[in-house]
Amino acid sequence: MNTTLDLSAGSQATRIIHLQEGWLSGRTWFDWLFAVLAVAGGIVAFAQYGGAMDGYEKAILAGTVPFVIALGWFWRPAARLMLVVAAFSLLAISAYQGDLKRAESVFWLKYFLSSQSAILWMCVLIYMSTLFYWIGLFTSEKHPVDGVAHANTAQRMGTWLAWGAVGMALIGTMVRWYESHHIGAGIGHIPVSNLYEVFVLFCWMTTLFYLYYEQLYRTRALGAFVMTVVSAAVGFLLWYALVREAQAIQPLVPALQSWWMKLHVPANFVGYGTFALAAMVALAYLLKTSSLRALLIGLVGVPAVVLAGVGLYALLGSPDPTMTQALTKSGRMLGGLLVFFGLMVALRGTINQHTPSLTVMDDVLYKAIAVGFAFFTIATVLGALWAAEAWGGYWSWDPKETWALIVWLNYAAWLHMRLMKGLRGTVAAWWALVGLVVVTFAFIGVNMFLSGLHSYGTL
């Protein structure tokens, strides 16, 4: 008996050693080159900017290096993306030569690599990617052998354009970070501090997570749905930039002058991005499983009722002009949502012929929410610690905090029902889709209708 146990333990240990050796020995020359470049980049950053960092920021930078290596080894397309972004960001920085005015005279800066040019390219590429994904969805044909709709040229173009959009967004973000440090003393900061900057973050992060799931499940059929919600975010971003001139880099308010922001905000938007992704996958799922009556009530009827209520309230007038403006904006967004959902219902017969199997969509839905919930939980804890440092208390029931808690409870309940009660199918999809409404209000609705300690990006 003991001999058997010893042999079993020994075989398990051997298996673990072989697994570890295989993981390292399976690295290619590209993986090791990427690791060397990541370490070299970290050393250069320490040498160049270490004097301006406090201990916490140095710890974040030190932790970023192994994280970047692990991410690049786990998913090689991410490694290639990071190398391209680093190369073009350094090219842009060298073209500036410390003078931001060169953005108006140097060709590559003016039209491609300044932060605003790169972000505008991101917007264009996202719209183009969305268009190609929809064209590809409607023109894809099922394979005669396996009966699965295989990707066509338009969908592959959608994928490449989506990668280009992510790349330009990250280049724009890196260059904007550089530009902020050259505007004036004390202004430089990581560009995730206001509504304009976090919308850029939302766009590339949601797209990048979709591209990962696209490769993992070997289907491009969901790109049309996911990139549509990213395109909606781009539309809001462009409107916000034109109306508010929010693209201008502004000094941070005192509460945001903290290293916590570098951790809290990105973790938060991993949650927002994956929740939005899950909702659009849920929409594709519901188009395939729900009856026409249920779709009309849920996808068309509910937004129509809300839109009617908003219109009526705006018509009756509000004593607060700001509130009236917010109602008008929300009415326009709901109207656009109503048109989109109505179009999806009208075309669902054609769409359903090309979307993946219910099993694939259900799995993507679950994994996206699970990842989002994990990061959103981390972000909430980090936010509480940041609040304690900035305002003297971990929780103040500020509107943003309250709605963050509502988002967390919503997806905690969804995951509980999934894992404990086996929640699947139409109910889970409807729940995930309704969750997008909750997330949207927590994301921008609070800024439109409520005020509080987190009102850094008013509309």
3-state secondary structure 117-172: HHHHHHHHHHHHHHHHHHHHHHHCCECCCCCCECCCHHHHHHHHHHHHHHHHHHHH
Asked whether residue 34 is domain-assigned, the answer is yes
Asked whether residue 248 is domain-assigned, the answer is no
Asked whether residue 417 is domain-assigned, the answer is yes
How far apart, in whole angstroms, are the C-alpha atoms of residue 370 and residue 284? 19
Both 338 and 381 in a single domain?
yes
User: What's the domain count of the chain?
Assistant: 3
**Which domain range does residue 410 map to?**
266-459
Q: Closest by alpha carbon to 34, among 75, 91, 1?
A: 75
Both 274 and 352 in a single domain?
yes
The conformational region for residue 422 under phi > 0 = left, psi -120 to 50 = alpha, else beta, is left
Both 125 and 59 in a single domain?
no
CB contact set of 30 (below 8 Å; sequence gap of 6+): 76, 79
The mean of the pLDDT values for the chain is 86
Give residue 9's identity as a one-letter amino acid code.
A
pLDDT greater than 60 at residue 305: yes
Asked whether residue 276 is domain-assigned, the answer is yes
Both 60 and 91 in a single domain?
no
Half-sphere exposure of 344 (CA within 13 A, CB side): 24
How far apart, in whole angstroms, are the C-alpha atoms of residue 341 and residue 360? 22
Most confident of 37-51, 201-215, 260-274: 201-215
Q: DSSP alpha helices (H): ranges in 75-114?
A: 76-96, 107-108
Both 49 and 153 in a single domain?
no
Asked whether residue 252 is domain-assigned, the answer is no
If one compares 259 and 131, the residue with the highest pLDDT of the two is 131
How far apart, in whole angstroms, are the C-alpha atoms of residue 279 and residue 204? 17
Both 103 and 139 in a single domain?
yes
pLDDT greater than 50 at residue 136: yes
Stretch (H or E) spanning 259 = none
Both 53 and 180 in a single domain?
no
Both 204 and 345 in a single domain?
no
Asked whether residue 107 is domain-assigned, the answer is yes
Count CB neighbours of 186 within 10 A.
10
Both 38 and 85 in a single domain?
no
pLDDT greater than 90 at residue 148: no
Q: How far is CA 331 from the centre of its chain?
A: 25
Asked whether residue 260 is domain-assigned, the answer is no
If one compares 174 and 318, the residue with the highest pLDDT of the two is 174
Both 409 and 349 in a single domain?
yes
High-pLDDT (> 90) share of the chain, %: 57
pTM of the full predicted structure?
0.89
If one compares 148 and 38, the residue with the highest pLDDT of the two is 38
High-pLDDT (> 70) share of the chain, %: 85
- Among 209, 228, 258, where does a domain finish? 209
Asked whether residue 233 is domain-assigned, the answer is no
Phi and psi at 97, nearest 5°, equal 55, 35
Mean pLDDT of 186-203: 90
How far apart, in whole angstroms, are the C-alpha atoms of residue 248 and residue 176? 10
- Among 36, 59, 74, where does a domain finish? 74
Both 285 and 178 in a single domain?
no
Both 147 and 112 in a single domain?
yes
For residue 260, give Cα distances in angstroms to 59, 241, 384, 385, 386: 12, 26, 10, 8, 6
Most confident of 245-259, 289-303, 440-454: 289-303
pLDDT greater than 50 at residue 11: no
- Among 209, 228, 256, where does a domain finish? 209
